Amino acid sequence: MKTTTFSTTEEWMDARKGRITGSRLKDIVVKRGTGEKLAYYEMIAERIAQSPDDENAMDRGHRLENEAIEIFSGIIGKKIDTSLVIWERDNNKNIAISPDGFIGNTEAVEVKCLSSARHIESYLVGVIPDEYEYQVLQYFIVNDKLEKLYFVLYDPRMPEKVILHYFTFTRKELQEKIDLYLAYQEEKLTKIDAITYQLTF
């Protein structure tokens, strides 16, 4: 066993990065299933990414959004409109979405600037985080003309080869879920309208 002594807490904290320590082992061990826990990806991120600052995650996302879209626009060779808009479904204004970017009515762009661990997890696993599935569907539910959604993940703290990666979703592959969750929203909104009427008239 080797013992290393540190003169400051900052040095000690820095030396723990990218390692399995006693307090981290429980976050690495997978008891059920085959997927890795987030701590596994945190260790990779600690080794390859620049250290995060104290900036609020939402503020960081807003700050980096246009930068990500500009880079992505160059990758796909298309001009992306980043006007601040809300799309509403033609037959129900209460079913809506705010696109980060769009190319006419047929293509849209959603940008996420996640933690470096979540960013590298998505890159290595090859799927978007589960919590964004409904957001992807909502684009197609709101806009019947939408054919394609680009889901872009951007983290400039990462090495160049993984700073930006993206997933492409098409209406054809999602149609069954689009229909299901459109009907679901319409049902919920009908109930909400009825309760609102009861409580205000």
Q: What is the pLDDT of residues 150-193, one digit of tens each?
A: 999 999 999 999 999 999 999 999 999 999 999 999 999 999 88
Q: Does residue 198 have a pLDDT over 80? A: yes
Determine the Cα angle at 140 with ends 122 and 186, to 5°: 115
Q: What is the pLDDT of residues 58-115, one digit of tens each?
A: 677 678 899 999 999 999 999 999 999 999 999 999 999 999 999 999 999 999 999 8
**Which listed CATH number (3.40.50.1820, 3.40.50.150, 3.20.20.70, 3.90.320.10) goes with 53-200?**
3.90.320.10
Q: Are 142 and 95 in contact (CB under 8 A)?
A: yes
Would you state the pLDDT for residue 36? 75
Would you state the pLDDT for residue 39? 72
Would you state the pLDDT for residue 152? 97
Q: Against a cut of 0.85, is the pTM above it? A: no
The SS3 of residue 155 is coil
- Torsion, Cα 129 133 138 144, to 10 degrees, reads 110
17 or 71: whose pLDDT is higher?
A: 71
The tokens for 123 are 């890159």
Would you state the pLDDT for residue 167? 98
Would you state the pLDDT for residue 10? 79
CA dihedral over 55, 61, 64, 66, signed as positive or negative: negative
Residue carrying the six token digits 């945190």: 42
- CA–CA gap between residue 5 and residue 19 (Å, rounded): 16
How far apart, in Å, are the Cα atoms of 34 and each of 20, 29, 31, 37, 116? Answer: 19, 11, 9, 9, 22
Would you state the pLDDT for residue 8? 82
Q: What is the pLDDT of residues 18-39, one digit of tens each?
A: 665 556 666 666 777 777 767 7
How far apart, in Å, are the Cα atoms of 76 and each of 73, 84, 89, 115, 189? Answer: 5, 22, 27, 25, 37
The tokens for 52 are 């995060």
| Separation of CA 120 from chain center | 12
- Average pLDDT on 127-133 reads 94
The tokens for 9 are 């807490």
